[in-house]
Amino acid sequence: MTQTMEAGGVREGELLWTPRPEYAAASNVAKFVDWLRSEKGVELADYNELHRWSVSDIEGFWSSIWAYFDVQSDTPYTSVIDRKVMPGARWFDGSRVNYAEHLLRHEGDGRKTAFHHLSETRELAQMSWGELGDKVRIVATQLRALGIRPGDRIVSYMPNVPETAIAAMATIAIGAVWSSAAPEFGVKTVIERFSQIEPKLLFVADGYRFAGKDFSREQETQEIVSRLPTLEHVVWLPYLNPEAKSPVKARPWSELLDHPAVPRESFRFERVPCDHPIWVVFSSGTTGLPKAIVHSHVGVLLEHLKLMHFHINLKPGSVMFFYTTTGWMMWNLLLAALLTGASAVLYDGSPMHPGPDFLWQLAARTRCTSFGASPTFVQMMEKAGLRPGESHDLSALEGVLVSGSPSTPETFAWFYRHVKQDLWVTSQSGGTEICSGFVGAAPTLPVYAGEIQTRMLGMDVRALSDDGKEVIDEVGELCVKSPFPSMPIYFLKDEGGKRYQESYFEVFPGIWRHGDFIKINSRGGCYIYGRSDSTLNRFGVRIGTAEIYRCVEQLPEIADSLVVCVELPGGKFFMPMFVKLNPGSQLDGKLESEIARRLRNDCSPRHVPDRVYAVEAIPYTLTGKKMEVPVRKLLVGMPLEKAASRDAMMNPAAIDWYVKFAQESADYSWRVA
């Protein structure tokens, strides 16, 4: 049921949709509540009561998830959680599980579709559960034959195609550790990640196609391989050009697969202890190398079973699409759709090529039930004047998942006006650090404009003021007060866990501070207001400022730099860069082009700022940290006395230029200055 909206606009918090009673009753979360009542004697009237129970009785909730989904383990666990502390809690100690085994548990009827897949180089096709299972087992068996053992690291520089998914699942199946970089990443960005991992094997493709243009990765492959001394094996996928020969010593993907099928009953998944790593994902901070975040099989498995069933409501027969690359944790979540028996749609290419409605064509052709993209995608649709509900058959579509950056009331309203009226439009927010969400959706709750429906089950999320007090209906820091399974088990190259501690627990000891501004209203709805720290959020992808500085400050003309990303009205973003020039240099078109070229090639197109400004000085704190957060606060209208303390500055006068800049452009005219 959808509320009527005036064509002129929609108010924040306006009721837009209420689930039909039969839809809510048939949801996975409603069935779980019924099971808790009949099997556990836990009486819960509604979702809000379920959430309160899930964070007040941690052992009861997570042990119920284990039992409800019949998690397979070689040995019984001795405790759900050994101690309720962050960081350091051990989950399901004594158990031995394998995540990939659970991804393939729905292989039963091998003829049903596991993947729909399409790219700018390949036509739309399907891969059955049987074909997927066969290929995963063959690749896993060959990896073992190559000497890959549990705990060894395997990395990928491949696009979003079935081969990458198969490689990931095979890696995880044998207890090896997976990590992925998107092929649009430059060599420097890849090496900064993979050198921390010290991989034994690399999966690599010859290139990719985006918006009709081919991008070879043969030269990049040579450089990457030459700078990873621990590599023993390279597997080469001629994807862009089927005739492409590897520029390094490698075995072809086809050779890896050219072996007899391995029967399900004879294949052994490597069930691993509770603290065994599953993958390494990267989330960049403001200083140093990107954080190499390690998760466990058991933590991710429990979290993803909960997330995909209860907060995305996937079931056998569902079809999930989310526009993502292999360098973002949303790719990991897309594969997690298999845990529910649903199909996943893999797409590699531009969301706007050959036309702006391309992804809606894909949704119609795959009978997509859950469609996911970023708010930026909606802005592109709006600009193009699209009305997908009129031009495409979206009758199978049940829900929309908008993630990657804060959504506005207008984002929600666009879906109801131009896609479908009876639609569960959801916004969800979490992070690479947990490979999941903190706040998100529930199919039994109504949808309000611009509002994230609820806090997710098992996530004890609070909005805290600067002095650590919980606030309601006020903006505060997004914090989590109780442990949850998908917390990182550690960071690589982080002696004594110092960086892990500083990243999330330095401000409020023992409480996870995520770095987002959040408002939780009295009914439990949530609003995310962007980053409270200095990690950039560009087009739904987080970017570490350190990656940009390391690239730009190598230019001989630039002495220092500072970059921020500002959320603007209407859900838009503006990312300005401020540079201090060396004597004799000037900021002209040639230098601006070189900055953009360096960032695009060494990092990615998302790292390129919208505008570059020359300044006399970059402001620093007394401890030598660039004042990114205060500058961003100034640009969104916060007065200096609230944004920063001059007493804490190395050079107090350096901030004056930014104060004046913000004051003179309070109407956001500096976006195009």
- DSSP letters of 230-290? T--EEEEE--SSTTPPPSSS-EEHHHHH-S----GGG-----EETT-EEEEEEE--SSSSP
What pLDDT was estimated at residue 4?
42
Reported as type and span, the H/E element at residue 597 is helix 589-602
Q: How far apart are CA 620 and CA 286, in angstroms?
A: 13
Note whether 314 and 336 are within 8 A (CB). no
Q: How far apart are CA 169 and CA 173, in angstroms?
A: 6
Q: How far apart are CA 275 and CA 171, in angstroms?
A: 17
What pLDDT was estimated at residue 25?
98
What pLDDT was estimated at residue 673?
42
pTM as predicted: 0.86
Q: How far apart are CA 59 and CA 80, in angstroms?
A: 6
Closest listed residue to residue 486, CA positions, set 191, 131, 81: 81
Q: How far apart are CA 271 and CA 97, in angstroms?
A: 4
Q: What is the DSSP letter of 628?
A: H
Query: Which token pair is 296?
Result: 């466990």
Q: How far apart are CA 460 and CA 458, in angstroms?
A: 6
Note whether 634 and 658 are within 8 A (CB). yes
What pLDDT was estimated at residue 497?
95
What pLDDT was estimated at residue 5?
45
Alpha helices per DSSP H over 347-481: 358-365, 375-384, 388-391, 409-418
Q: How far apart are CA 180 and CA 159, in angstroms?
A: 10
Q: Which residues pair with 277 in a beta bridge?
A: 296
613 phi and psi angles, rounded to 5 deg: -125, 140
Q: Residues of CATH 3.30.300.30 domain(s) within the chain?
A: 544-671
Q: Residues of CATH 3.40.50.12780 domain(s) within the chain?
A: 103-112+128-277
The CA distances from residue 93 to 74, 89, 328, 531, in Å, are 12, 10, 29, 34
Closest listed residue to residue 279, CA positions, set 237, 331, 229: 331
End-to-end Cα distance, the chain: 45
Note whether 292 and 492 are within 8 A (CB). yes
Q: How far apart are CA 83 and CA 482, in angstroms?
A: 11
Q: How far apart are CA 207 and CA 114, in angstroms?
A: 25
Which phi-psi region, left, alpha or beta, contains residue 138 (left: φ > 0; alpha: ψ -120 to 50)? alpha
User: What's the pLDDT tens digit per position in 502-557?
Assistant: 999 999 999 999 988 889 999 999 998 766 776 676 666 667 677 788 789 889 99
What pLDDT was estimated at residue 620?
87
Note whether 18 and 422 are within 8 A (CB). no
All residues at 6 or more sequence positions from 40 whose CB lies less than 8 Å from its CB, including other chains: 60, 64
Note whether 428 and 441 are within 8 A (CB). yes
Tell me which CATH homologous superfamily contains domain 103-112+128-277: ANL, N-terminal domain (3.40.50.12780)
CATH topology of domain 544-671: GMP Synthetase; Chain A, domain 3 (3.30.300)
Q: Residue 37: CA atoms inside 13 Å, Cβ hemisphere, count? A: 12
The CA distances from residue 77 to 53, 74, 306, 558, in Å, are 22, 9, 19, 56
The CA distances from residue 267 to 71, 113, 134, 139, 140, in Å, are 18, 22, 10, 12, 9
Closest listed residue to residue 395, CA positions, set 426, 419, 427: 419
Closest listed residue to residue 91, CA positions, set 489, 434, 438: 489
Residues (pLDDT < 50) of the chain are: 1-8, 285-287, 672-673
Q: Residue 84: CA atoms inside 13 Å, Cβ hemisphere, count? A: 9
- How distant is the alpha carbon of residue 630 from its chain centre? 26
Q: How far apart are CA 214 and CA 373, in angstroms?
A: 24
**Residue type at position 347:** Y
Q: How far apart are CA 336 and CA 275, in angstroms?
A: 20
Q: How many CB atoms lie within 10 A of CB 352?
A: 15
Which phi-psi region, left, alpha or beta, contains residue 581 (left: φ > 0; alpha: ψ -120 to 50)? beta
All residues at 6 or more sequence positions from 285 whose CB lies less than 8 Å from its CB, including other chains: 291, 499, 503, 535, 544, 546
